[in-house]
Homo-oligomer: A and B are copies of this chain.
């Protein structure tokens, strides 16, 4: 720890102090390079005394990537998404990459943003955003850039994907509610469409119809607690009277619906209407909600994302892959006990 406020030491300085060439310094900091252990020691020593560290910019300029991974996410302040980003970020770092975070709410500037990401020679990209424009993914494809999409449609021909299968999810939700005794199902659908949320909702409705159960659609302006709550409050009372099971494609919406039902409308859950959410966010387990839901295992999902990305960064000739993450039904207090002997 010497030098205060000086010019940062370069490999040249280290080489000089260690009495070797700059190539030797480079090798000392390149895992698996051909270098004599004792030379490496000398270099490491010198580097330590000088406080030297490899300049990632220069290295990235020379090699074909900078070790940065673009992480594109929307609705970051949402419980599920923040957990996803946390796991993804931690995992990336653990693997020796550095996440560059791009948060976007509107697709307006996203092209420009991703563009600027590309200018950093990123090693790969992860899209958790609600709607990465297809053209963008294809540009990544054109550049041969590894991409993993999380819960996104396979809009493009490029990019590995990790998804919670919408059809499976919708069907599972319908089955669960029906099995628990619901005979008329509602589904709270946000007006702003989104791959996973809209997808699950539609599949839920299809599944219910397939099983011969009448359905109603309730609308919210968008996902999110407030709008879900407002949506349920604004729903025709006749519709509410008709249903005895409600599926919300997001726990956040389910919680909003729950508060609307119980606090605003005085409708008893689960006695009068059973409610089922999706995701299993932390809040679902909070005592005041105790929400039955279908769990999306974010930790497992993130591991898969990382595996796919790392594999492809190491070998870009792999075929395009799609991984389905398993779903688990978590029954809590917003649904009734299952009848002991089927019905």
Q: Give A47 Cβ to nearest chain B Cβ, in Å.
A: 12
Write out the residue numbers on chain B whose beta carbons fall within 8 Å of the beta carbon of A286: 225, 255, 259
Copies of this protein in the assembly total 2
User: What is the bound-complex CA distance between A4 and B56, given in angstroms?
Assistant: 23
User: What is the bound-complex CA distance between A71 and B264, given in angstroms?
Assistant: 41
Q: In the bound complex, do residue A93 and residue B79 qualify as a contact, i.e. CB atoms below 8 Å apart?
A: no
Q: In the bound complex, do residue B4 and residue A55 qualify as a contact, i.e. CB atoms below 8 Å apart?
A: no
User: What is the bound-complex CA distance between A52 and B61, given in angstroms?
Assistant: 16
Q: In the bound complex, do residue B317 and residue A288 qualify as a contact, i.e. CB atoms below 8 Å apart?
A: no
Q: In the bound complex, do residue A93 and residue B76 qualify as a contact, i.e. CB atoms below 8 Å apart?
A: no
Q: Give A117 Cβ to nearest chain B Cβ, in Å.
A: 7
Interface bits A26-65 vs B (CB < 8 Å: 1, else 0)? 0000000000000000000000000001111110110000
Interface magnitude class on chain A:
35 or more
Write out the residue numbers on chain B whose beta carbons fall within 8 Å of the beta carbon of A86: 76-77, 103
Is residue A238 contacting chain B, with contact meaning CB distance below 8 A?
no
Q: In the bound complex, do residue B316 and residue A288 qualify as a contact, i.e. CB atoms below 8 Å apart?
A: no
Q: In the bound complex, do residue B225 and residue A119 qualify as a contact, i.e. CB atoms below 8 Å apart?
A: no
Is residue A341 contacting chain B, with contact meaning CB distance below 8 A?
no
Of A140-148, A186-194, A270-278, the one with at least 4 CB within 8 A of chain B: A140-148
Q: In the bound complex, do residue B144 and residue A4 qualify as a contact, i.e. CB atoms below 8 Å apart?
A: yes
Is residue A303 contacting chain B, with contact meaning CB distance below 8 A?
no
User: Which residue on chain B has the smallest CB distance to residue A1?
Assistant: B320
Q: In the bound complex, do residue B316 and residue A287 qualify as a contact, i.e. CB atoms below 8 Å apart?
A: no
Q: Give A268 Cβ to nearest chain B Cβ, in Å.
A: 14
User: What is the bound-complex CA distance between A103 and B84, given in angstroms?
Assistant: 12
Of A17-25, A94-102, A176-184, A205-213, the one with at least 4 CB within 8 A of chain B: A94-102
Is residue A332 contacting chain B, with contact meaning CB distance below 8 A?
no
User: Which residue on chain B has the smallest CB distance to residue A141?
Assistant: B3
Q: In the bound complex, do residue A317 and residue B2 qualify as a contact, i.e. CB atoms below 8 Å apart?
A: yes
Write out the residue numbers on chain B whose beta carbons fall within 8 Å of the beta carbon of A229: 287
Q: In the bound complex, do residue A225 and residue B145 qualify as a contact, i.e. CB atoms below 8 Å apart?
A: no
Chain A interface (Cβ < 8 Å from any Cβ of B): 1-6, 8, 53-58, 60-61, 66, 68, 71, 76-79, 81-83, 85-86, 89-90, 93, 98-103, 113, 115-121, 141-145, 157-158, 225, 229, 255, 258-259, 262-264, 282-283, 286-289, 316-320
> Can you name 17 A-B pairs with beta carbons within 8 Å?
A2-B318, A53-B116, A54-B119, A56-B116, A56-B119, A57-B66, A57-B119, A61-B61, A77-B79, A79-B82, A89-B102, A93-B113, A99-B100, A263-B287, A263-B288, A264-B287, A288-B288
